[in-house]
C-alpha cells in the first residue's frame, strides 16, 4: 500500500488521512505485519466501523494524525500578522510592550 498522504494535493483529504494512518500503523516496507495494540470493531456485516488503539504504543502516531487534521482544517484560513498578535497580547497584559 502506498502512503497516499504525500500524494494528497487534489485528492480526497479524508481518504488520504485514513490511508496514511493505516499505512503507518499496519504496514512496513515488506508488506503487512502483525500488529498488537490495535483492534477493529465491526458491525453485523463485518464492516470495520471503529478502532481501539493502544495509546501508550501508538500515541505519537495518533498525535501526528491529529495535527494533520487540524492543519488541513485551517488551510484556507486567512493568516494574522505577527504585529497584530503582539499588539493584542500587550493589550491583554500577556506580553510587555
Q: What pLDDT does residue 62 have?
A: 87
Query: What does the longest C-alpha to C-alpha distance in the chain come to?
Result: 62
pLDDT in tens, 2-22: 433 344 444 555 555 556 666
- Rounded CA-CA distance 30/45 in Å is 30
73 assigned to some structural domain: yes
Give this prediction's pTM.
0.43
pLDDT digits (tens, 9 = 90+) for 55-85: 998 888 889 988 988 998 999 999 999 999 9
Q: Which position has the grid cell 503507518?
A: 24
Is residue 59 within 8 Å of 65, Cβ to Cβ?
A: no
Please give the residue range of the domain that contains residue 73.
Answer: 4-91
Handedness of CA 18, 65, 30, 6 (dihedral sign): positive
Is 13 part of any domain?
Answer: yes
Q: How many domains does the chain have?
A: 1
Question: Does some domain include residue 96?
Answer: no
Q: Domain for residue 87, yes or no?
A: yes
Grid cell locating 45? 456485516
Residue 34 lies inside a defined structural domain of this protein:
yes
Amino acid at each position: 500500500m502506498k502512503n497516499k498522504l504525500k500524494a494528497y494535493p487534489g485528492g480526497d483529504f479524508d481518504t488520504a488521512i485514513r490511508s496514511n494512518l493505516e499505512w503507518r500503523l499496519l504496514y512496513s516496507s515488506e508488506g503487512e505485519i502483525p500488529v498488537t495494540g490495535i483492534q477493529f470493531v465491526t458491525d453485523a456485516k463485518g464492516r470495520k466501523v471503529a478502532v481501539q488503539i493502544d495509546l501508550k504504543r501508538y500515541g505519537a502516531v495518533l498525535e501526528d494524525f491529529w495535527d494533520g487534521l487540524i492543519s488541513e482544517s485551517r488551510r484556507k484560513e486567512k493568516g494574522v500578522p505577527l504585529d497584530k498578535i503582539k499588539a493584542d497580547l500587550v493589550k491583554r497584559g500577556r506580553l510587555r510592550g
